[in-house]
Structure 1
Amino acid sequence: MSDAQHAAARRPSADTAVVLVLGLAAMVVSMMQTLVVPILGIIQSDLHATTANVSWVTTATLLSAAVFTPLLGRFGDQHGKKPTLVGVLLVMIAGSVLAATTTSLTWLIVGRVMQGAATAIFPLALSVLREEIKPEKLHGAMALVSGTLAFGSGLALVGAGLLTRGSDPDYHRVFWLAVVLAVVALAGVLFTVPASRATTGGRTDWLGAVTLATLLVLLLLPVSQGHEWGWTSGRTLGCFVGAVAMAAVWVVAENRVKEPMVDMKMFAHRPVLFTNLAGLLLGFAMFAQFIGVSYLVQIPEDVAGYGFGASVLGASVVYLLPTTLVSLVGAQFGGALVRRLGARLTLAVGACFGVVGFTWLSVAHDATASVIGAGMVIGLAISFGYAAMPALIVASVPAHQSGIANGINSISRSVGSAVASAVITSLLASKTIPLPDGMPALPQESQFTMSFAIAGAAFGLVVAVALVGIKSAQAPRTPVLRKVTESGTAAPAEAESGVELV
C-alpha cells in the first residue's frame, strides 16, 4: 500500500489526533528557546554567576540545537521517525529534570544542552505529517504544527512570568513546567503517532555530522557571544575564520561520502536554498520583534522619556502574547492560502504584512495600541511564513530527505534568531541616554526605530526571495515500485509531493 493509499485509509479522527500531538510536541520545542529569557536575572542572582557565565544558559541550547537537529532529522529518515521522536523527548525530559533540580550553573548548562536536542522534534514532526496525512490536508496540518512554534514562544514567556511572581521567585518551577509538558507530549507520541512504514536505512555519516556540527558551533558561538568577547577580538574573528574553513571541509567531505548526511544537490537545489535564506531572514525578523518590543515596553518613561515601564510579565502578556495568538490562528489561514495561491506567493504575501507591521512599529511605537496592533500584523506575517516554508521544502525534496531538509531549514531560522539577538543587542547598547551614576544605561529611542526598520528590511528581502529567488519547480522525483507487469518486471511510478510551489 502506498503512502497516499495508507493516508486515505486512516480515519479522520486518527489524523486529527496525530496533528494535535505533533503540534504539542512542536510547541514544547519553541518553549525551550524562550523559557529562560525572563528568568536569567533570577538564575544569575541565585547561582551568584556573572552576566557572561549566565548567558551560556541560552547559548548552550542554541548550539545544541544546531548540532542535533540535522543529525537527528537524518537519523529519523534512516531509522524511523517515531523511535527518534521518542528518544529526543526522553533526552529533553531528562535535561529538564536536571535543570529543575540542580543548583549548579554547570549542571544547569548541561541540562540546557539536553533540552536543545528537542529542536529536532519539529522537522521530525513534519516528516511524519508528510507520511501520514492525506495530500489535500497536508498544507493545513503543516501550518497548524508550524503555528504552534510562535505560540509556544509566547506561552513560555507568560508561564515563566507567572511562575516566578512574588518576592521569592524560584526559577526551578519553570523547568518543572517543561517536564510536565514534555511528558504529556511523549505520552501522545507513544499512543498516537504510527510507526514509520518506510525507512532508508544505511550508515550514519559521522564525518558529515561532526564537520557540520563544528561549522555551526564556530558560526553561532561568536554570533551569540560577540557582545561579551568584543566583535573585533581574536576569539570572535578566529571563530568566524574557522567557520569559513570548516564550511569548505564539510562540502568536500559530503561530496566524497557514499551516503552523505546532507545531499549537496538537495542543499543547493534552488527552491531549497532560497527557502533556507527566507528562513534565516524570517528568524531574524521574528526575534527582532520579540527582543525589541520586550526591551522597549520595559523602559521607564519617567526616566528615558519614552517606553511604558512594563514588568516582565506585563511585557509578555500585554504586548507579546497577542502576537503569538495571531500567529497560531493565522497559521490556519496560511495553510488555506498555500492551497489556493501556492507556497511561494503565500510567503510573499506574509512578508508584505511583515513590512507593513515593522513600518508601523518604526513610526508609531509611542502608544500601547500601536505596539500591540503592529505586533499582531507581524504575527500574521510570521504565521504565513511558517505555513509556507515547510510546504516549499516538502515540494522540493523526495520523501526520504524530508527530515534532514526541514532540519536544515529549522537551523536557518535559529541562525537568523541568533544574529538578530546579537545585532539588536549591540545596536541598543551603541547609543545610550546619559543617566546619573549608579543607574543602568538605557538605549536612545532612535536605536529602537533603527532596529524595527532593519527587521522590516529583512521582510522586504523575503518578498524578493519569494518572488525572484524561488522559481516554480517540480519536486525531485523518486521512483516508487507500484505494480508488477505481466513480464514480471516492476513498473516505476513517480512519487508525488502533493504540494505546489505556485
Structure 2
Amino acid sequence: MSDVLVAPVQAPPQEQRGHGTRLLVPILAFAGIVTALMQTLIVPVVPELPRLLNASAADTIWAVTATLLAAAVATPIVGRLGDMYGKRRLLLVSLGLLVVGSSVAGLSTTLVPLIAGRVLQGLAAGVIPLGISIMRDELPSEKLGSATAVMSASLGVGGAIGLPVAALLAQTTDWHVLFWTSAVLGAGAFVLVWAKIPSGAAPAGGRFDLPGAIALSAALIALLLAISKGASWGWGAPLTTSLFAGALVLFLAWGWWELRTPAPLVDLRTTAHRQVLLTNLASIIFGFSMFAMSLVLPQLLQLPTTTGYGLGQTMLAAGLVMAPMGLVMMAMAPVSARITDAFGPRTTLMIGAGVVALSYGLGVFFMAEIWQLVVVSAIMGAGVGLSYGAMPALIMGAVPRSETAAANSLNTLMRSIGTSVSSAVAGVVLAQLTITAGGAELPSQTAFQVVLGIGASAALVALGIAAFLPRRTKAL
C-alpha cells in the first residue's frame, strides 16, 4: 500500500475528552458482545451439520476451524490498520464483514458457502481491541479503567451468553435463524457505531507492512491448524509435524523481517518491553487456563447419568449453567477498575489469576450437582473478569498511543492462541482417560479432574508471571 498522506496528531487534550461520549461504552461493549457471540453461535448445531449439509463430520468441523483461523489472521492486521487509517473506520469494516458473513451463512444450504460465511464472521474478531483503543482516545483517564474492563469482559460475556441463546434457537427454529439473528445484531451494532461513535484522533498514517502480514498470517494458520487438527490427524503424522515446523520457520522469518523493516506490522521492540512481554505471556497462559472450564462443564452436564458422574442435561441447560460466568465477568469489570486504580493492574491480574485457580480447585471436588457447577462457573467468571480488565491497562501503560490498537490486538491474539492450545491439550486428556458406557467410549471422571487440575496449575503459572510485572504503570 502507498503511504497515507495524513499527519499524525495527538489525541484530544485530557480536558476535552469525555464530552458527548455517554453512549460510547455501552455501544462498543454491545459490539464486542455481538462479535464474541460468533465463538459459540454454531456449537449447538455442529453434531447435526453432516446431516443438514450432506457432508462428512470431518468436513463440517471446518465451519468451526475456519472462524478460528480467520480471527487469528485478522486480529493483528486489523489492529495495525486501525492505528494507520482510523480505528472507527476499521471497526465499521469489521462489523460490516460480520453482517455479510452472517448473511452468507444464513443463505447457505451446502458446506462451502457456510464455511465462507464463517470466515467472514471470523474476520470481525478485531472489534474488541479496536473498541478498547477508541476508548483510550476518547475517554478521560478516570473513566478509562472501568470502560476498558467492560470492553475486555465482553469477549467472555458474548461467548457465555451465546451458548444458551444459540441452543434455544437451534432447538425451536430452523438453524439458519442463528445466522440471521447474528446478522441483525451486527447490523444494529454497525448503525450505532456509525451514528454515535466519534472519529477520534486522526490516523497515524504510514506504509502497511504487507510482507509482514502475509508471513504472520501463514505462520498463524500453520500453527493453529496443527494444534486444532493434530488430534485427528495424529500428533506425529507428517502433515502435523510439517505444519509445526513450517510455523516455526515462518515465525522466525517474520521476526527477522519485522526487526528490519522501517514500518513493521508489529513493533517487536515495543513488544519486548518487559511489561508488554510479560502481559502477553500471562495472557497466553491465562487463555489456556480459562478455556479448560468451557470444555469440561458442558460435557459433564450432558453426559448420561449412567456414567455415575454425568448429569444428563440438554445443551440448553448446559448453556444456562455457563451463562452466570459471563454475567459475573461483566459485573466484575468495575471492581477490576477500582482495584487497578488503588493498587495497579499487576495486583488486579494476580488476584484474578488466584480466583481462577480457586474455581478450578473447587471444580475438581464439586461436580456432582448442577448448583455446584453454577457456583464454580460464577467464581471462574469473577476471576476472568478481574484479569481481563487488567490486561488492557497493562498494555496501554507500556505502548505509545499510535500503537494502541496493534498492541491490544496482539494481546487478544495471545489469549486466542492460549485457548487453542488448551482445547488441544484437554482433547488429548479426555480422549486418553475414558470409560465404556452404553457401548460408547466416554471421558472418565478422572479425565475431567485432570483437565481442571491442569487449568488450576496454568492459572497459578499466570499468577507467577504477573508477579514480575511493575507494581505501577502510567499510560504513555
Once the two structures are overlaid, the 10-residue window that deviates more, 28-37 or 388-397, is 28-37
**Distance in 2 (alpha carbons) for counterparts of 1:44 and 1:403:** 39
Kept in 2, the 8 Å contact 1:284–1:419? The answer is yes
Secondary structure, in 3 states, of the residue corresponding to 1:458? Answer: helix
Secondary structure, in 3 states, of the residue corresponding to 1:434? Answer: strand
Once the two structures are overlaid, the 10-residue window that deviates more, 39-48 or 107-116, is 39-48
1:41 equivalent in alignment to 2:47: yes
1:171 equivalent in alignment to 2:175: yes
Amino acid at match of 1:430: Q
Amino acid at match of 2:168: L
Match of 1:389 among 379, 388, 391: 391
Q: CA deviation at 1:153?
A: 0.7
Kept in 1, the 8 Å contact 2:49–2:57? The answer is no
Question: Who is 1:3 aligned against?
Answer: 11
Q: CA deviation at 1:7?
A: 5.7
Amino acid at match of 2:322: L
**Distance in 1 (alpha carbons) for counterparts of 2:357 and 2:81:** 38
Match of 2:315 among 312, 316, 327: 312
Deviations along 1:120-153, one digit per CA (max 9) or x if unpaired, are 1111111100000001110011011112221111
**Structure 1 pair 48–441 and aligned structure 2 pair: CA distance change class (3 A):** farther
Deviations along 1:54-86, one digit per CA (max 9) or x if unpaired, are 111111011101111111100010011111111
Q: CA deviation at 1:434?
A: 2.2
Question: Who is 2:31 aligned against?
Answer: 25
Match of 1:366 among 360, 365, 368: 368
Match of 1:75 among 62, 81, 87: 81
Matches within 5 A, 1:473-484: none
Matches within 5 A, 1:77-156: 77-156=83-162
**Structure 1 pair 9–403 and aligned structure 2 pair: CA distance change class (3 A):** closer
Q: Which runs of 5+ in 1 are unaligned?
A: 476-495, 498-502
Amino acid at match of 1:157: L
Question: Who is 1:247 aligned against?
Answer: 251
Amino acid at match of 1:462: A
Deviations along 1:412-465, one digit per CA (max 9) or x if unpaired, are 1111111111111221111221235xx432111100000000001111011101
Q: CA RMSD in A?
A: 1.5
**Distance in 2 (alpha carbons) for counterparts of 1:287 and 1:408:** 18
Deviations along 1:251-308, one digit per CA (max 9) or x if unpaired, are 111111111111110111111111111111221122110111011111111x211111
Matches within 5 A, 1:191-202: 191-202=195-206
1:222 equivalent in alignment to 2:217: no
Kept in 2, the 8 Å contact 1:306–1:366? The answer is yes
**Distance in 2 (alpha carbons) for counterparts of 1:2 and 1:209:** 26
Deviations along 1:213-264, one digit per CA (max 9) or x if unpaired, are 1111111011111111111111111100111111110011111111111111
Q: CA deviation at 1:6?
A: 5.7
Secondary structure, in 3 states, of the residue corresponding to 2:437? Answer: coil
**Distance in 2 (alpha carbons) for counterparts of 1:49 and 1:426:** 25
Kept in 2, the 8 Å contact 1:347–1:466? The answer is yes
**Distance in 1 (alpha carbons) for counterparts of 2:10 and 2:240:** 51
Q: Which runs of 5+ in 2 are unaligned?
A: 1-8
Amino acid at match of 1:267: T
Match of 2:21 among 15, 24, 31: 15
Amino acid at match of 1:310: Q
Q: CA deviation at 1:341?
A: 1.4
Once the two structures are overlaid, the 10-residue window that deviates more, 42-51 or 62-71, is 42-51
1:210 equivalent in alignment to 2:227: no
After TM superposition, the score normalised by the length of structure 1 is 0.91
Q: CA deviation at 1:49?
A: 2.1
**Distance in 2 (alpha carbons) for counterparts of 1:136 and 1:368:** 40
Task: Name the count of aligned residue pairs.
Answer: 468
Secondary structure, in 3 states, of the residue corresponding to 2:22? Answer: helix
After TM superposition, the score normalised by the length of structure 2 is 0.95
Question: Who is 1:491 aligned against?
Answer: none
Question: Who is 1:378 aligned against?
Answer: 380
**Distance in 2 (alpha carbons) for counterparts of 1:113 and 1:26:** 18
**Greater than 4 Å deviation, 4+ residue runs:** 472-475
**Distance in 2 (alpha carbons) for counterparts of 1:304 and 1:158:** 24
Kept in 2, the 8 Å contact 1:75–1:204? The answer is yes
Amino acid at match of 2:349: L
Amino acid at match of 1:5: P
